[in-house]
Amino acid sequence: MSLLLIAKNRDMTPLSEALLKEDANLDIDIWPKVKNKDRVTFAVCWEHPEKVLDGYSNLKAVTSFGAGVDHLLKDEALSKSVKLARVMIPSLKSQMTEYVLSAIQNYRFNTSRYVDQKREGYWSKHDPVSKEDCVVGILGIGEIGSAVAEWLLVNGYKVIGWSRSNKNIEGVRCFDGNRLDEFLSHTNILVCLLPLTKETSGILELEHFKKLKQPSYLINVARGGHLIEEDLIYALDTGALEGACLDVFEEEPLPGNHLFWNRPKIMITPHVASITDPKEAAIQIAENYKRSLSGMDLLNEVNRERGY
């Protein structure tokens, strides 16, 4: 039996080396070099090519090499009998908490404006946004969202959260599925940490931006498919949003001719808010590989109906 590693734009050699340190007896293939498709029972995928999993007749389980699994759920080549999992490790949470806090502080203290002024040789002071005007609303208060909320509380921010089902987090006012509008009306800084599902696709749209408490700002660190790009441009032009920090996009890398590049109110980072550490992930992946061979439930197994 063998384990297959697949990624279009990422070197999977470090993960292979880390897995072999966990278990030197593992038989590992790195796509596209696959010795024997019939031996593959488990795959690790990150933004894998369409239909690349066709022909693996003995595939029992597939795990994402990150917290997101939308690329697996939309793959029609995957049989419904194949179990799905995602990687959820402490460093993913800690990186995300630090990124979101940094993005909030950059907004509050006008960092991007000062960077632009330095480039132009222009001296001008801008008032910072008060913490009192910074109720942070976390859209998707799941495992990572809860960690972000707790870190923001430690740093003195008011935090509220919205999720499909009701959550109970100390210090955080939580709203459930049918109270989205109420949640938005109390939010100044909207942080999207939702899984990408049919229900959440396009949720970052103009009518929702208009319902935010002013002044308002958007941080999207979930998936590009959550955002309707034209609506963001309109919201910025009409003042419904003061600005946005985007780490994820519908098309990645973001094309050089994209409108976002010329918008000073949009901060862009290249999908770096939370990057999976191969050494840390290898422990969970090796365990799930063994569990799949034994027919056991996987760690962080995905519910296909919920989409996460």
DSSP code per residue over 89-145: -HHHHHHHHHHHHHHHHHHHTTHHHHHHHHHHT-----PPPPGGG--EEEE--SHHH
User: Could you tell me if residue 57 is inside a domain?
Assistant: yes
- Please report the pLDDT score of residue 283 as a whole number: 98
Position 51 pLDDT exceeds 90? no
138-189 tens-digit pLDDT: 999 999 999 999 999 999 999 999 999 989 999 999 999 899 999 999 999 9
Same domain, 84 and 158: no
54-106 tens-digit pLDDT: 889 999 999 999 999 999 999 988 999 999 999 999 999 999 999 999 999 99
In the numeric block, the tokens 């007749």 are attached to: 57
For the record, the structure tokens of 264 come out as 């000073």
User: Could you tell me if residue 305 is inside a domain?
Assistant: no
What is the sign, positive or negative, of the torsion defined by CA atoms of 80, 225, 110, 275?
positive
> Long-range contact list for 237-241, CB < 8 A, 24+ apart?
240/206, 240/209, 240/210, 240/212, 240/216, 241/209, 241/212, 241/216, 241/217, 241/265
Q: Domain residues for 46?
A: 2-88+276-294
User: Could you tell me if residue 300 is inside a domain?
Assistant: no
Query: What's the pTM?
Result: 0.96
User: Could you tell me if residue 304 is inside a domain?
Assistant: no
Mean pLDDT of the chain: 96
Q: Give me the CATH number covering residue 9.
A: 3.40.50.720
Q: Return the closest-CA partner of residue 8 out of 43, 38, 50.
A: 50
Same domain, 27 and 146: no
Which is the catalytic residue, given 48, 164, 223, 226?
A: 223
Same domain, 13 and 80: yes
Same domain, 81 and 171: no
Same domain, 250 and 287: no
For the record, the structure tokens of 181 come out as 């509008």
Same domain, 151 and 118: yes
In the numeric block, the tokens 């239909």 are attached to: 51
Same domain, 170 and 221: yes
User: Could you tell me if residue 307 is inside a domain?
Assistant: no
Cβ atoms of 28 and 19 within 8 Å: the answer is yes
In the numeric block, the tokens 């966990």 are attached to: 22
In the numeric block, the tokens 């509380």 are attached to: 153
User: Could you tell me if residue 187 is inside a domain?
Assistant: yes
What is the sign, positive or negative, of the torsion defined by CA atoms of 112, 116, 118, 124?
negative
> Is 173 one of the catalytic residues?
no
User: Could you tell me if residue 156 is inside a domain?
Assistant: yes
User: Is residue 90 reached through a cis peptide bond, with omega within 30 degrees of 0 on the bond before it?
Assistant: no
Same domain, 68 and 149: no
213-266 tens-digit pLDDT: 999 999 999 999 999 999 999 999 999 999 999 999 999 999 999 999 999 999
For the record, the structure tokens of 66 come out as 């990150």
Cβ atoms of 223 and 248 within 8 Å: the answer is yes
Could you tell me the pLDDT band of residue 300, with boundaries at 50, 70 and 90?
Answer: very high
Same domain, 226 and 146: yes
Same domain, 282 and 200: no
> Is 223 one of the catalytic residues?
yes
Return d(Cα 307, Cα 34) in angstroms, integer.
29
User: Could you tell me if residue 192 is inside a domain?
Assistant: yes
CB-side neighbour CA atoms (13 Å) of 44: 28
Q: Return the closest-CA partner of residue 205 out of 235, 181, 236.
A: 235
221: which residues sit within 8 A by CB, 6+ positions away? 96, 99, 100, 191, 192, 193, 247, 248, 273, 274
Cβ atoms of 219 and 189 within 8 Å: the answer is yes
Return d(Cα 285, Cα 288) in angstroms, integer.
5
Same domain, 31 and 94: no
Tell me the residue type at 66: G
Q: How many domains does the chain have?
A: 2
Cβ atoms of 220 and 204 within 8 Å: the answer is yes
Which is the catalytic residue, given 86, 164, 271, 291?
A: 271
Could you tell me the pLDDT band of residue 135, with boundaries at 50, 70 and 90?
Answer: very high
Same domain, 49 and 129: no
